Structure formats: structure tokens, C-alpha cells
Amino acid sequence: MNALLDAGLSPLPVGAVARDFALPQTSHSGLQPLRSGGHAVVLAFYPMDWEPVSREQLTLYQGYTDTFDRLGACLLGISIDHIYSHEAFARDAQLYFPLLADFQPRGQVAHQYGVFRDVQGVSARALFVLDARRIIRFSKTYPDRLNPGVDELLTILETLTAGDTPARGL
């Protein structure tokens, strides 16, 4: 089933310049613009709040926020849920990094990054790592039932910190 769902996906490739966007976020009022500010950015697209694998994935990332900080990376979770759902979900799951609401227009940023599933009306589970210049250095989609874990993200971020420019993905 995932192969059929993923057939229409076209994630932005490694080496592309990341698309600009601004979305409402948890923990702060207003919009979260995509700005690297001289830091790497991890974009974690996930299908929806309260979905068990998404919860498992995001709580895993919460456990590594100190490591992301040490590696100079900003972590952003993105789904099509409303900001109020994000707030309740983050509170319940004890998530302290921003969750961005790609709610209105539904999935606009997921569309821009090539990871929106029109049939389901949600984004695919996907990870992007952007370097300080907003160049995509990692781009990958995952089956909905698979928690992508943290190993690939940490490897890419460690490589970026070391000054290399990895080119991994899909």
C-alpha cells in the first residue's frame, strides 16, 4: 500500500535550495519562518498528531534535543494538524521543540517539499536536513509504519559540523 502512496511523491532532492515558508508553531505566538540563522535545520514531516508511530518518532527526537543543539541544528516537526491539536499533542507527549501547523492551506509546505499525499490528505513521513545556507543535504521518505529513528540524522549533522558536505538521500 505504501508503494502506491509513495508513487506520487517527489521529495526535493539533495543539493536543492530549501523552499521558504512560514507556519504557525507551538510554544510561541505567530509564525515560524524557515530561517537557518547560520544553523542546520531538521525538518521532520509526519502524517498527523496522535498517530502512534509519529508519537514514537517525535518523543525519540525529544530525547536527542541536547544532541541536536550540540550539533548546531534546529529541529522542526511539521504536520497538517491545527495548531491547537499540536499544542495538546506536544503537552501530552512532553515535546519541547516546535511543531508547525501546515493546516491552511492544507499541506501547502508538504506540497512544496514534494511529500504531500493527496489521496490521504496528509504528508508522508519524511526527513530533510538543511545546511546553514539552506541547501538540502539529506532528503528521504519513510513508510508510515516505520519510525526512521535518529541515526541517519545524527550522522548527517555530525558530518555538517565537521565541515563536510554530505549528499545522501532517497
CATH number for the domain harbouring residue 105: 3.40.30.10
CA atoms of 66 and 61, how far apart (whole Å) = 10
Mean pLDDT of the chain: 89
| Overall number of domains in the chain | 1
- In a 3-state reduction of DSSP, which class is residue 79? strand
pLDDT tens-digit profile of 8-50? 799 999 999 999 999 999 875 445 556 556 789 999 999 999 9
Radius of gyration from C-alpha coordinates of the chain: 15
Cβ neighbours around 124 below 10 Å, total = 24
pLDDT tens-digit profile of 84-123? 999 999 999 999 999 999 999 999 999 999 999 999 999 9
Structural domain containing residue 13: 2-169
Give the pairing type, strands 136-142 and 168-169: parallel
Task: Please tell me the pTM assigned to this model.
Answer: 0.89
Cβ neighbours around 120 below 10 Å, total = 14
Residue 29 pLDDT? 43
